[in-house]
């Protein structure tokens, strides 16, 4: 079967939308770290829109930090791939050409370093998941973990600061696109801490003064692609696309308008540039992501595999609705014109999309990194009085007791050891009691502790 590439793209069916710009004439202006399905369905699509609208020299060099899997999918295709949007109304397929170079940092770290130091590079975007930011349970930068890892985002970004200063090249804007509160601030703190660790005082001062790390909020449901998905795309294209992405029609990107230099016109694709991202970020983290995690842990307990199955379960949906509407949506102050009721309605409709097989196990991974911003912040805002959120938290604690191989967690060994050594009450105390590893995010009263223990044991 023919493989998608520059040489074969002209043979794609007319129904496949394409931007039609000259890819070869676009210089690389963006380096992306964390090349996966979400980036290909989100930031790369916005960038493709901008280039198609005449915004020149914003092509992307995209890097995976460790795995060569995505490189092996995309490099033979010259960086081309398709995005298929599925809904109850049918599907639409689009060819994306914004990614011009694909790098595996673990194999060729010098190539990523060169791209970050290049004078044409002005923006760096990142999708490395919550654990990629190396945060301790109290939220501080885990400098010891970063040093021991040796291949973190901070190694490359700190190296870029030093190299660009030495070469006299301009500062960069680092755009975190991960589900973390104040993601830009978290990223800035990590880079600064690592520069300090390296003794790069002058580079640290320049970074703090001139580089920018805007906060952002990103939203698009992107399930993991299966072999069946690739076969279905192949039937539509008449050729093989190993890097195909399946997603929903909805997408959102809200970005703090704080850049070190020029930027892509992402607003062409609908991105919003605002003074304060916090209300949008909080709504997404607590309402969408918080509901997603609740669906994952409760749904897996009830034997479901996909989000649309869990949200249709009458034993689960009321809990998720209460968590979203009564607890998450009332835990913060919305921005002017930010209608949270209709937002919740839209989220439930998106969750119910049967054409997207969004696996609960995918959402359940790395729970120790997610429950803080998704649930504990909401609990803290309500003084611990958020029953649906407590029900979801108990489901997560039961989930980690099983030590599921299907949903990895960077704290898996530590959490498993807690369950091996104690009962539900002891685990709750170890996590949320005095000196507990998560007590800084939420510490229950004695009555709330007892409620949580009962929820776990039910």
**Residue indicated by tokens 């696109």:** 177
Distances (CA, A) of 274 to 17, 51, 261, 424: 30, 22, 17, 44
pLDDT at 411: 86
pLDDT-flagged residues of the chain (< 70): 403-407
Nearest 5°: phi and psi at 330? Answer: -105, 10
Comparing C-alpha atoms, which of 82, 35, 41 is closest to residue 62? 35
pLDDT at 245: 98
Cα(174)–Cα(146) distance, integer angstroms:
18
Pairing of strands 252-256, 28-33: unpaired
How many residues can be counted in the chain? 458
CA dihedral 323, 327, 328, 334 (to 10 degrees): 140
Q: Tens of pLDDT along 346-355? A: 999 999 999 9
Query: 15-36 b/e with 16+ CB inside 10 Å = b?
Result: ebebbebebeebebbbbbbbbb
pLDDT at 211: 98
pLDDT at 367: 92
Cα(402)–Cα(383) distance, integer angstroms:
29
Q: Tens of pLDDT along 7-47? A: 999 999 999 999 889 999 999 999 999 999 999 999 999 99
Q: Tens of pLDDT along 197-207? A: 999 999 999 99
Given a contact cutoff of 8 angstroms between Cβ atoms, the answer to whether 100 and 133 are in contact is no
Pairing of strands 90-96, 17-18: parallel
Three-state DSSP at 50 gives helix
pLDDT at 407: 65
Burial class (CB in 10 A: 0-12, 13-18, 19+), 229: middle
> Which residue ranges form the domains of the chain, and what is each CATH number?
9-274 (3.40.50.720), 278-457 (1.10.1040.10)
Measure CA 86 to chain center.
20
């Amino acid at each position: 079967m023919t493989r998608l590439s520059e040489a074969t793209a002209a043979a794609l069916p007319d129904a496949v939308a394409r931007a039609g710009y000259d890819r070869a004439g676009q210089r690389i202006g963006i380096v992306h770290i964390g090349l996966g399905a979400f980036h290909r369905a989100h930031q790369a699509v916005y960038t493709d829109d901008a280039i198609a609208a005449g915004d020149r020299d914003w092509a992307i060099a995209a890097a995976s930090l460790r795995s060569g899997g995505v490189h092996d999918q995309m490099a033979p295709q010259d960086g081309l791939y398709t995005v298929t949007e599925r809904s109850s109304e049918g599907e639409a397929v689009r060819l994306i050409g914004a990614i011009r170079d694909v790098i595996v940092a673990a194999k060729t770290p010098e190539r990523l370093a060169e791209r970050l130091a290049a004078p044409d590079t002005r923006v760096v975007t990142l999708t490395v998941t919550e654990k990629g930011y190396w945060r301790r349970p109290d939220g501080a930068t885990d400098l010891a973990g970063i040093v021991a890892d040796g291949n973190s985002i901070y190694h490359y970004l700190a190296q870029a600061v030093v190299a660009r200063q030495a070469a006299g090249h301009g500062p960069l804007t680092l755009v975190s696109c991960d589900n973390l509160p104040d993601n830009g601030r978290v990223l800035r703190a990590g880079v600064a801490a690592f520069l300090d660790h390296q003794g790069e005082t002058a580079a640290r001062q320049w970074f703090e003064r001139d580089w920018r790390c805007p906060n952002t909020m990103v939203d698009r449901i992107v399930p993991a692609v299966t072999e069946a998905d690739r076969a279905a795309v192949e039937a539509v294209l008449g050729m093989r696309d190993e890097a195909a992405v399946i997603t929903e029609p909805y997408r959102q990107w809200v970005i703090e308008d704080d850049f070190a230099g020029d930027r892509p016109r992402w607003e062409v694709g609908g991105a919003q540039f605002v003074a304060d991202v916090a209300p949008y970020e909080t709504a997404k983290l607590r309402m969408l992501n918080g509901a997603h995690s609740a669906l994952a842990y409760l749904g897996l307990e009830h034997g479901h595999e996909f989000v649309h199955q869990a949200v249709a379960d009458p034993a689960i949906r009321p809990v998720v609705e209460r968590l979203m509407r009564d607890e998450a949506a009332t835990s913060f102050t919305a921005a002017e014109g930010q209608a949270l009721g209709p937002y919740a309605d839209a989220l439930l409709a998106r969750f119910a999309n049967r054409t997207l097989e969004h696996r609960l196990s995918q959402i359940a991974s790395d729970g120790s990194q997610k429950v803080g911003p998704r649930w504990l912040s909401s609990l803290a805002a309500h003084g611990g009085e958020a029953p649906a959120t407590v029900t979801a938290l108990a489901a997560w604690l039961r989930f980690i007791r099983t030590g599921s191989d299907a949903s990895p967690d960077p704290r898996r060994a530590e959490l498993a050891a807690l369950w091996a050594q104690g009962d539900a009450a002891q685990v709750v105390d170890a996590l949320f009691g005095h000196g507990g590893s998560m007590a800084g995010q939420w510490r229950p009263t004695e009555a709330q502790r007892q409620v949580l223990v009962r929820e776990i044991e039910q």
